[in-house]
Structure 1
Amino acid sequence: MSISLAVPASPATSPSFAAQMETAVAQDPPETDYPLGVADKVRIIVFDEPSLSGEFTVNANGALSLPLIGDVRAVGQTATEVATVIRRHLMDGYVLQPRVSIDILTFRPFYILGEVNKPGEYPYSSGLTIDGAVATAQGYTYRADKRKVFIKHAGAAQSVKARIAPDLKVRPGDTIRVGERYL
């Protein structure tokens, strides 16, 4: 993926600042590059074919079960990539010139554990931050360490310790653990 960032030249803007901004933007990919995962719900529209269109959920096997063509692998692929695969399958003797679009309706949930008032599973919303996730879980307990959290991204083997910041993003499928503070 190539991301370019135009930063106007001024005395206050240094090359290192521009590099930091570009890195920050590159680490937070746009949702068009969002890789689908189990429990994501999508709307597939095959134009002029209402019987092939509808709302589908990525199943436990990582596939979308579609009419006529059966299971289409979706986990780890973007909506655009899945639409291309569906289009190819439909061209294989089912629809003459299929036009396919996919919208992501709901993302897989995130989980928050530890020193929050209501730990559990919550629906993900676009642009969710750690502060928003904690607010969704009705805030910190009185024992919570409000300086750091442990985040395990979907598919990762281990949790990563992260310093809490207003712009710390949560991804769909993340498990967040708020630890206990020590005096």
Structure 2
Amino acid sequence: MSIFRTCLTFVMAVAMTSCAGANASMQPLASAAPGPYQLGPGDQIRINVFGLDALNNTYLVGDTGEISLPMIGTVTASGKTITRFETDVADSIRAKQLVLEPKVSAQILAYRPFFILGEVQRPGQYPYVPGMSVMTAVSVAGGYTFRANTKKVMVTRSSAKGSAGPDSSVQPGDLIQVQESWF
């Protein structure tokens, strides 16, 4: 009878381990306060240059992280703050000798989207809004389903992957996965 109990205990331990899933040991995502926003592919930017009406337009950061501007060429935007991007555009205008002291202003019109899937009412792609948390992202997606794990979700970010709670911040481009709760 003791061999039966030993085998049964072993089978139960294996079954419980497999139910925990691959993400059971996932580390929490760093909850440091986000720094200044950095541009990336998919962001929509409005650029105004005083005295150069040909450049005044709305541009989309391409998948290479660059924006192609008339009379200047390509300017890298990805990984830069909006202030740094304005400076780079002004430097490019100065280098081409189009204007001696260019006055450049840029503003983000639309942020790149975030994605949410799993146990939410309407999984999909949604526009990012500054200051979003996991809870607001779930709300945008119609709320949790009845079997969702409401305490912890998995977030995949360009630089990291980990677990996050309802109050964790969401960044543009994040993939949020709401998992099923077993109890």
With the shorter chain as reference, the TM-score category is 0.7 to 0.9
The share of aligned pairs that are identical, in percent, is 41
What is the CA–CA distance in structure 2 between the aligned matches of 1:103 and 1:135, rounded to whole Å? 27
2:93: which partner in 1? 90
Aligned residues: 152
Alignment partner for residue 64 of structure 1, among 62, 67, 71? 67
Letter paired with 1:57: L
8 Å contact kept, 2:155–2:164: yes
What is the CA–CA distance in structure 2 between the aligned matches of 1:108 and 1:34, rounded to whole Å? 12
Q: How big is each residue's C-alpha offset from its partner over 1:60-119, in whole Å with a ceiling of 9 and x where there is no partner?
A: 111011111111011101111111111111012212211111101110000001100111
What is the CA–CA distance in structure 1 between the aligned matches of 2:150 and 2:115, rounded to whole Å? 18
Structure 2 spans left out of the alignment, 5+ residues: 1-30
Letter paired with 2:99: V
3-state SS of the aligned residue for 1:176?
strand
2:153: which partner in 1? 149
Alignment partner for residue 77 of structure 1, among 77, 80, 104? 80
Q: How big is each residue's C-alpha offset from its partner over 1:124-146, in whole Å with a ceiling of 9 and x where there is no partner?
A: 11211111111111111111000
1:42: which partner in 2? 45
What is the CA–CA distance in structure 2 between the aligned matches of 1:91 and 1:78, rounded to whole Å? 20
Letter paired with 1:160: G
TM-score when normalising by structure 1: 0.79
What is the CA–CA distance in structure 2 between the aligned matches of 1:123 and 1:94, rounded to whole Å? 36
Q: Does 1:176 align with 2:179?
A: no
3-state SS of the aligned residue for 2:155?
strand
TM-score when normalising by structure 2: 0.79
Choose between structure 1 and 2 for higher RCO, CA contacts under 8 A separated by at least 6 residues.
2
3-state SS of the aligned residue for 1:27?
coil
3-state SS of the aligned residue for 1:85?
helix
What is the CA–CA distance in structure 1 between the aligned matches of 2:135 and 2:116, rounded to whole Å? 12
What is the CA–CA distance in structure 1 between the aligned matches of 2:52 and 2:123, rounded to whole Å? 43
Structure 1 spans left out of the alignment, 5+ residues: 1-23
What is the CA–CA distance in structure 2 between the aligned matches of 1:129 and 1:94, rounded to whole Å? 44
1:164 Cα deviation from its structure 2 partner? 2.4
What is the CA–CA distance in structure 2 between the aligned matches of 1:53 and 1:45, rounded to whole Å? 5
2:33: which partner in 1? 27
Q: Does 1:54 align with 2:60?
A: no
Bigger-Rg structure (1/2): 2
What is the CA–CA distance in structure 1 between the aligned matches of 2:86 and 2:70, rounded to whole Å? 14
Letter paired with 1:114: G
8 Å contact kept, 2:55–2:69: yes
Q: Does 1:163 align with 2:165?
A: yes
2:26: which partner in 1? none
